[in-house]
Amino acid sequence: MDKPDKKKNRSYRLSLQDAISHERIWGLRFSHRTMVAALVTGGVLVVLILFCLIAFTPVRLLIPGYPNAASRREAAQTAQRIDSLETKILQWELYSENLRRIASGEDPIQLDSVALAGTVVHEGKIDSAFLAYRDSLLRADVTAEEQFGVDDAAALRRRNLSIEAQSFYTPVKGVVSEGFDLAVHPWIDVTAPAGSVVMSVLDGTVVYTGWEEDNGYVLAIQHTSDILSIYKHNEKLLRKAGESVKAGMPVGVLASSVSLTKGDHLHFELWYEGTAVDPVQYIKF
């Protein structure tokens, strides 16, 4: 049989004595195992204390190379500038492609279809066949109502009014922070507080609802006279695709600036006969 290890069974004493009277003031008795356990426990406690200091106190900012608030803000601003540059590059590519097509006698790219094609899935995953079915029902109802109406001619004239003759409702009360530029900025930004209710500018039918990582919830409304309005940077939408809306009816709620690049604002687009137009010419903000 193996002999027991006498070193492991030894006990030790740590004491504090008076140098003159040799009176013991304090003492501690421990074994080899107790000493190892105490050292391990102490090491774990030291690691935990250091972790808490680094993770939950400003001490971590003293570590060389650790990003502070200024560097994180600068990194976020750099990412936003890169995203803005990518958007402008895409706009210039579309613009140059349109110039090439016009010069060669081809049909230009329909920018409204490009804008809608770049969006994400429909909110609520609405099936396209269902939307087509709802649209056919809406058209059938309108046809049935106007078949024997005495105001058919007047209604037809109202539907065919030019954009200049339309009476637009202001989508949101605010200040235009960035104006319209057909080449690089074919929309306007309207500064307004987060939580502001976004209104439909005309009577129409919601033809698209969706979510974009950079633009929040997006909603597009098709109006008569070949007018299309697009509303971006919404926190939530109040209408679904296929629903009919009236001018001034709430369609969304404006998001906060946390996810945006230029503060709280509404990204608003107005399209007429397939071409982006300046909303300020027709709407009072």
pLDDT digit string, tens, across residues 28-57? 777 778 888 888 998 999 999 888 877 777
46: enclosing H helix or E strand: helix 32-56
* Domain residue limits, the chain: 11-61, 67-109, 121-281
User: Please, which residues have CB within 8 angstroms of residue 266's CB and are 6 or more apart in sequence?
Assistant: 171, 172, 174, 189, 190, 192, 196, 198, 231, 232, 233, 254
Positive/negative CA dihedral, 213, 190, 185, 205: positive
What is the 8-class DSSP label of residue 58?
A: G
pLDDT tier at 68, thresholds 50, 70, 90: low
pLDDT value of position 101: 75
DSSP tally for the chain: helices H, then strands E: 5, 12
Average pLDDT for the chain: 79
Selected residue with higher pLDDT from 278 and 152: 278
Cα–Cα distance for residue pair 189/193, rounded to 1 Å: 13
129-152 pLDDT per residue, tens:
666 666 666 776 666 655 544 444
What is the 8-class DSSP label of residue 42?
A: H
Cα–Cα distance for residue pair 89/129, rounded to 1 Å: 35
Q: How long, in residues, is the chain?
A: 285
85-107 pLDDT per residue, tens:
888 888 788 777 777 777 777 77
179-205 pLDDT per residue, tens:
999 888 999 999 999 889 999 999 999
Q: Is residue 208 scored above 60 in pLDDT?
A: yes
Architecture (CATH level 2) of domain 121-281: Distorted Sandwich (2.70)
pLDDT value of position 87: 80
Q: 3-state secondary structure string, 220-261?
A: EEEECCCEEEEEEEEEEECCCCCCEECCCCEEEEECCHHHCC
Q: Is residue 214 scored above 70 in pLDDT?
A: yes
